[in-house]
Amino acid sequence: MRAANLSIGFVPTMGALHYGHLSLIEAAKKKCDIVVCSIFVNPTQFNQESDLNAYPRTLENDIQLLLSCSCDILFHPEVSEMYGESMEKESTEDYGNFIHVLEGASRPGHFDGVVTVLRKLFLLVLPHQVFFGQKDYQQCLVVQTLIHRSFPEIIFHLCPIAREMDGLAMSSRNVRLTEAERALAPKIFENLSLVANNWKKDYWQSVLSQASINLQQEPFVFEYLSACDPKSLRELDTFQENAIILVAVRLGSTRLIDNLIIQA
Ligand code: AMP
């Protein structure tokens, strides 16, 4: 396809596809001649075996969704095909300070696994353009660094977060929520919006504290709610107009993340 001068767009996923994934495929279709989606539940990016084992796998349904949005190629490798004998990970230690905060702090080694698998996938698929969701914002910064260092010819696209009608960010993990947890889950986006809507020099800190308190109410298990600089992910200590609010909470056994970018 490269020899035929066709442009290749790539959307890496872990499957259990939902409209958020399809929106990336749609974005890729608009920019590229051929769209490749990979489904690979990458063991090296999981911190807990239980989370890896519980990760939803819905291949038949995924294939139907990919057909419905005219995705050209599905790449669905086995773990042995991607890793052979060795599950060794490369290190992201020197990627910069942003790698050690938020998800990097909560999930040690997670980004090492992400970068390891993406390097393999990029070398196999040879994409011209890649499409990632803002939902995993810190991951997007990691991927941009990987591309900058090792694949400078690849064009990176950051795609917006697809949400349910009630604001909950779509996620493969949402199916693991109980009915009661699902009913509470929109509070995550509500509290991000509360912060964004009161993003003013004199209020931002108090509203951030209020939103943190709201997300510490049972049954939420609070991990972080942080206002950061969008480029460096440095936690803000003084007000700035352009910021990103990132959140991670657990509801029962399900860990959920979300974020909202604030622009002047
Ligand atoms: P995952 O299958 O969770 O590894 O996600 C694969 C890709 O889909 C990543 O680039 C995610 O950021 C993206 N993605 C996941 N959820 C959403 C969403 N709600 N909206 C947009 N993109 C998403």
Question: Which stretches in the chain have pLDDT values below 50?
Answer: none
CA of 91 to the centre of ligand 1 (A): 23
State which ligand 1 atom lies nearest to the alpha carbon of 160: 21
Tokens representing residue 73 in the block: 């190629």
Q: Give residue 224's pLDDT.
A: 98
Query: What CATH code would you report for 172-262?
Result: 3.30.1300.10
Neighbours of 242 (CB within 10 A): 12
DSSP code string of 86-143: -------GGG-GGGGSTHHHHSTTHHHHHHHHHHHHHHHH--SEEEEEGGGHHHHHHH
Does the Cβ of 136 fall within 6 Å of ligand 1?
Answer: yes
Tokens representing residue 221 in the block: 């298990």
Does the Cβ of 172 fall within 6 Å of ligand 1?
Answer: yes
Domain boundaries, the chain: 8-159, 172-262
Q: Give residue 1's pLDDT.
A: 94
Whose Cα sits closest to atom 13 in ligand 1? 133
Q: Give residue 135's pLDDT.
A: 98
**113: which residues sit within 8 A by CB, 6+ positions away?**
42, 43, 44, 45, 46, 89
**Active site residues per annotation:** 21
Does the Cβ of 113 fall within 6 Å of ligand 1?
Answer: no
- pLDDT, one tens digit per residue, over 147-197 is 999 999 999 999 999 999 999 999 999 999 999 999 999 999 999 999 999
Q: How far apart (Å, rounded) are the C-alpha atoms in residues 233 and 161?
A: 18
Nearest Cα neighbor of 212 from 244, 246, 237, 184 is 246
CA of 20 to the centre of ligand 1 (A): 6
Rg for the chain, CA atoms, rounded:
19
Spacing of C-alpha 60 from chain mean position: 23
For residues 157-193, one letter each, b for 16 or more C-beta atoms within 10 angstroms of the residue's C-beta and e for the rest, the string is bebebbbbeeebbbbbbbebbeeebbebbbbbbebbe
Q: Give residue 264's pLDDT.
A: 81
Residue/partner pairs of 145-151 with CB below 8 Å, 24 or more apart: 145/95, 145/96, 146/115, 146/118, 146/119, 150/119, 150/122, 151/122
* CATH 3.40.50.620, domain 8-159, yes or no: yes
Strands 220-228 and 243-251: antiparallel
Whose Cα sits closest to atom 14 in ligand 1? 133
Partners of 158 in the beta sheet? 132
